[in-house]
Amino acid sequence: MNSGVFSKNLYKYRVQKRMTQREVADKIGVRQQTVAAWEANRSTPSPDIICSLAQIFRVTTDELLLENQLIGQEWPLQRLYVPKLKSVVQKKEQLFAKENVSGQVEILGRYDVQYFGIEAEDDSMSPALEKGDLVILERTTEITEGHTYAFLCQDESVILRQVNTFGNRILLLPINVAKYPCRLFENTESFSSEGTVLGKVVHSIRKW
């Protein structure tokens, strides 16, 4: 984890929610000085605390831990309307077909990137993402360490998992590990045979 990025994001989301450090501290059961230390990049919280913070701010853990994935040095953010898909289909040419789009979602994004929205099908990424939450994806087939992606499995289900790599091995990691197993692939070939990368999670919108 890049603690400097986390401290900046923590401050940003706390201010956006108009919460004081003490209010955040009270919600997660720590002292106000602890939250201040996180924002000053003097210490970092445990993974379970990070999940609790994501739930409080209604963002994903990626949005707390990583650089803003929608911001590029060459492309400013713009107000965009992206399609919300009814389902994910095997054939790429059918993905954005008119009959597969249930509506549009307004986001801030880069106009050089293709985005789309799907609903989370389970609670494997709870509490960061709950079943029924709208997940905004950047369309890509490339995977990068530490980011969360949507995968289309052989049984046509869609799963959301964080990607970790160990040499050639690829680990798909849910947050809700008590209910959902991790998946370890020995190489990219075995990984590719199990499913297809649909896109990278860049934002989420709570269902309530």
14: Cβ contacts below 8 Å, ≥ 6 apart: 21, 24, 35, 39, 57
pLDDT tens, 102-151?
888 888 777 778 898 888 888 888 777 788 888 899 988 888 888 888 88
Low-confidence ranges of the chain (pLDDT < 70): 1-3, 67-77, 88-93, 208
pLDDT confidence of residue 72 = 40
Q: Which domains does the chain show, CATH number per domain?
A: 3-65 (1.10.260.40), 78-205 (2.10.109.10)
Q: What is the pLDDT of residues 168-177, one digit of tens each?
A: 888 888 877 7
C-alpha–C-alpha distance, residues 104 and 55, integer Å: 25
The pTM for the full model equals 0.61
